[in-house]
Amino acid sequence: MPQMWNITLRVYRQKENEAPHFDNIDVQVKPDEYVLDAVERAWAFHDATICFRHACHHSTCGACGMRVNGVEKLTCITLIRDVVHDGGTLKVEPLRNFPVVSDLAVDMGHFYRKMERVSARPIAPVAEAEIENPPSKWDPDAERAQYLRLSDCIECGLCISACPVMATTPEYLGPAPLAAAQDNGIQRKPELLSVVDCEDGVWRCHSAFECTAVCPSFVDPARRIMDLRKQVVSARLGKLFGKA
Amino acid sequence: MPIRRDIGSWAFALNRLTAIGLTIYLFLHLIVLGRLAQGPGAYDQFLALTENPLIKLGEWAVVAAAILHGLNGIRIILTSFGVGVTRQKQLFYGFMLVALFIILVFTAKMY
């Protein structure tokens, strides 16, 4: 018999024209299950009106991002034992800085449009992957380097929710779109310069590094934003001295 | 308050709060300077107020805010251009230690 924990799931609820409130739902969970499993148990056995987004259950689709005890998590890979104890309360809320559609589900449309503005690449050549300590035989010109790989960013929106600047300036492009712009590179896509080098672009970031702290996919948006600034300065200086 | 957030959010909140405080101070400062136009008597009368412990505390807060905001700003400038990006937390703690030291020295000299 696997070990079972009794926890209280404190779920954010908000339907159309309804004031936001929390529902406390007692559920039995296995500590080595994931937070998404607990939400599904609550939905399946207690209240089928709980609305939440989920799909792949293995951190690829980026749909199940929520705030777990106040911190952004991809709930399909967040172990219950890491965020609550037996008899404890687990609070789940929708992501911040997105309009709530219903309960834990948010409208990601505005965010996806920003990703389109910077021509975010869903796939990129393997040769361009940032690999720490590449093997000594790594040869970017080799045939294998012609293969494509999925981009690291799964567009889960956790970085947008965690960013304190997004909370004060909704027009700000935000960490994931700026990281995607860096991934493209100003040199490769010069048209991105005007998109990111503006009031609500790369200079709006205030170096809180919260995006990197919550990113479940090792995109490291903060570092990429800093690198994008260097790219922007370099491109502007190049234009100034006629090298563009 | 950025409860349960990473240190970066606290750095962000600190910068915003000190910025708001310094902006309010700037307006107060300009209003006080405006008293110069009413003659030396009016200005001296205001200066006498600076001996009030509450005003003194306010002056201390302005200097402390300026030090915190300035050093935090240097951290942001450095990381913006790639310096210490992977060590940004240590950078923040380091600058805040320097700020604390300067504030303590200033406090000792002021009181």
Q: Do domains A5-106 and A109-240 have the same CATH topology?
A: no
Beta bridge partners of B11: none
Rounded Cα gap, residues A138 and A150, in angstroms? 19
Per-residue pLDDT tens for A2-13? 799 999 999 999
Contact A62, A157 (CB under 8 A): yes
A232 in Cβ contact with A198 (< 8 Å)? no
Q: Is the pLDDT of residue B20 over 70?
A: yes
Burial of residue A204, with CB atoms counted within 10 A of its CB: 0-12 exposed, 13-18 middle, 19 or more buried: buried
Select from 3.90.550.10, 3.10.20.30, 2.30.30.760, 3.40.50.300 the CATH code of A5-106: 3.10.20.30
Q: Across the interface, do A226 and B9 touch by the CB < 8 Å criterion?
A: no
**Tokens describing residue A113:** 């449009």
Res A1: pLDDT: 64
> Is residue A232 a contact partner of residue A193, using CB atoms and an 8 Å limit?
yes
Q: Name the residue in chain B with its Cα closest to that of A203.
A: B80
User: Tell me: the pLDDT tens digits for A59-110?
Assistant: 999 999 999 999 999 999 999 999 999 999 999 999 999 999 999 999 999 9
Q: Which residues of B touch A (CB under 8 A)?
A: 2-6, 8-9, 11-13, 15, 75-76, 79-82, 85-86, 88-89
Candidate from B4, B81, B89 with C-beta closest to A229: B81
Instruction: Give yes or no for a contact between A195 and A116, defined as CB atoms under 8 angstroms apart.
Output: no
Cβ neighbours of residue A111 closer than 8 Å, sequence gap 6 or more: A98, A155, A157, A160, A174, A176, A177
Please give the backbone phi and psi of residue A52, each rounded to the nearest 5 degrees, phi first.
Answer: -155, 160
Domains and CATH numbers, chain B: 7-110 (1.20.1300.10)
B34: distance to nearest CA of chain A, Å?
34
Q: pTM of the predicted model, to two decimals?
A: 0.87
pLDDT band at B46 (very low <50, low <70, confident <90, very high): confident
CA distance B100 to B64: 9
Name the residue facing B81 among A71, A165, A230 (closest C-beta). Answer: A230
Domain boundaries, chain A: 5-106, 109-240
Q: Which of A20, A25, A19, A34 is nearest to A6 (CA)?
A: A25
A224, A174 contact by CB (below 8 A) = no
Name which of A6-15, A71-80, B20-29, B35-44 the model is least confident about: B35-44
How far apart, in whole angstroms, are the C-alpha atoms of residue A137 and residue A119?
Answer: 32
Is residue B76 pLDDT above 80, yes or no?
yes
Q: How far apart are CA A86 and CA A80, in angstroms?
A: 10
**Distance between B1 CA and the closest CA of chain A, angstroms:** 11
Q: In this complex, which of B6, B15, B82 lies closest to A206 when CB atoms are compared?
A: B15
Residue linked to tokens 């690829």: A60
* B72 token code pair: 């935090």
Among B71, B80, B86, B89, the strongest candidate for a mutation testing the A interface, having the largest count of A CBs within 10 A, is: B80
Task: Pick A109-240's CATH classification: 3.40.50.300, 1.10.10.350, 1.10.10.10, 1.10.1060.10.
Answer: 1.10.1060.10
Cβ-based contacts of B86 with chain A (< 8 Å): 223
Residues of chain B contacting residue A207, judged by C-beta atoms under 8 Å apart: 8, 11-12, 75-76, 79-80, 88
Stated as kind and residue range, the H or E segment containing B95 is: helix B88-110
pLDDT along chain A (244 residues), means of 10: 91 92 97 97 96 95 96 97 97 97 97 96 82 64 72 95 93 96 93 95 93 94 94 91 69
Residues of chain B with C-beta less than 8 angstroms from the C-beta of A208? 6, 8-9, 11-12
Residue A79: DSSP 8-state: B
Q: Which residue has the tokens 């009181």?
A: B111
Max Cα–Cα distance, chain A, nearest Å:
72
Is ipTM beyond 0.85?
no
Please tell me which of the candidates B6, B12, B81 has its beta carbon nearest to residue A206.
B12
In the numeric block, the tokens 């948010």 are attached to A106
